[in-house]
Amino acid sequence: MALLAGRLFDEGDAGFSKNSSNMILVKLHGRERLIRGMKSTIKAISTGILATMLHPRVLKLFYRGPLTILMYHGVIDSPMIMPDPCMIDINVFRSQLRYLKKHFEVVSLTRAVELMEHDAITEPTAVITFDDGYQNNYDLAYPVLCEERLPATIFLSTLFTDTDISIWTGVLQNAFTLTPKMHLEWRGQRFDLSTLEEKKKSLSAVRSSLKDGPHQSLMDEVENIVTELSEGDPISLDAESPYRMLNSASIEKLAKSDLIELGGHTHSHCILSRLPSSTQEVEIRKSLELVESFTGQPCRLFAYPNGKKCDYDEESLSILRENGVKAALTTESGCYAPGTPMLELMRIGVDAEASMSSFKLSLFDIQGRIKGLFANKA
């Protein structure tokens, strides 16, 4: 159609019509101009509406707030072969922080907990958090946080410290990226790996299915898939991999920083609700104890791996309570509203592939507000 439209314009521009077929071309030419004109008017109007919508004063009107807890994972300084929405470009990250600093009161999670407990949040307030504990949190994110003097909390899955292994999601992403195979046979299904786009789709489908199983079977299956994808040539994380986990020297430096707080994220990054109570306790306690060994202080902050409502249960909540955790963060999307349980705080996940406009809307939870409006009407 675009090609056809282009041809019509070329022919129309060449001169006036002298026969009926050329008359049709002139009519179409006029119609195309009209459509083009309408399109650019609609574009100008929607750009205007968007610009108005995105004005901080307007966004604040819609903001239910008063607290947005942002969730990041990793920061990268060069593009990945297969982009991961959890790994954000450092320049985009810096721009987001600057915007945040300009329009929000950015506080540490501990400070936010105090404010929430005393119902004392008066201004739009934000907290920055990182899940998992990737080495790039120290190498790339931390210097930007220092430049902007903004506090953040990093939740560590402590099993991976000083190892060459990573969380299963990163291991899988790495294996799908580097595999020379054109397809994967798994659970009776054939997954296309012939292009990056197909790899991305296949990875997403495999990852979602894996999350349904108990932790040990998930890990066994990940190992089998990685072995299959590597064709006997082990796929390891290279030194520059964004999935490399924090080493203890970096954690020690972060622990000493007045800008960084550390929290637990289980020991092996397992989905708690899939585990028996005793294993949940080991996973939670170990991560809290290891964090304490770095900070020298009781660890009061925690984030649930995977973090949806179905990924933790009453057992998890009572283990956290018994171990003195004051705030636990989910990955359920939303802002804090008075009355939200402190062990089930919601967050706004930052999608590394989203535009700055989308980031601004999510920061003020505009999507959540719109969803809420529709939910109320239903």
157's CB contacts (< 8 A; 6+ apart) are 132, 133, 167, 245, 265, 266, 267, 268, 269, 287, 305
- Binder among 305, 325, 345, 348 for Zn ion (CB under 5 A): 305
Within residues 128-147, the interface with Zn ion by CB under 5 A covers 131-132
Asked whether position 283 contacts Zn ion by CB under 5 A, the answer is no
Say if strands 67-72 and 345-349 run parallel, antiparallel, or are unpaired.
parallel
The interface region with Zn ion, picked from 223-231, 302-310, 342-350, 360-368 by CB under 5 A, is 302-310
Closer CB to Zn ion, 121 or 237, in the complex: 237
Distance CA 248, CA 260 (A): 15
Residue with Cβ nearer Zn ion (89 or 131): 131
Nearer to Zn ion, 308 or 369 (CB): 308
Contact flags string 231-250 toward Zn ion, x per CB under 5 A: --------------------
Smallest separation (angstroms) from Zn ion to the CB of 265: 6
Q: Give whichever of 131 and 365 is closer to Zn ion, judged by the CB atom.
A: 131
Contact of 175 with 223, CB cutoff 8 Å? no
Name the amino acid, one letter, at 32.
E
Q: How far apart, in Å, are the Cα atoms of 239 and each of 92, 132, 172, 265, 316?
A: 23, 18, 17, 23, 35
Q: What is the dihedral of CA 106, 110, 116, 122, to 10 degrees?
A: -30
CB of 72 to Zn ion, least distance (A): 11
Cβ-based nearer residue to Zn ion, 320 or 366:
320
* Residue 369 near residue 375 (C-beta atoms within 8 A): no
Nearer to Zn ion, 167 or 184 (CB): 167
Handedness of CA 322, 323, 326, 331 (dihedral sign): negative
Of all residues in the shown chain, the one whose CB is closest to Zn ion is 131
> What are the residues binding Zn ion (CB under 5 A)?
131-132, 305
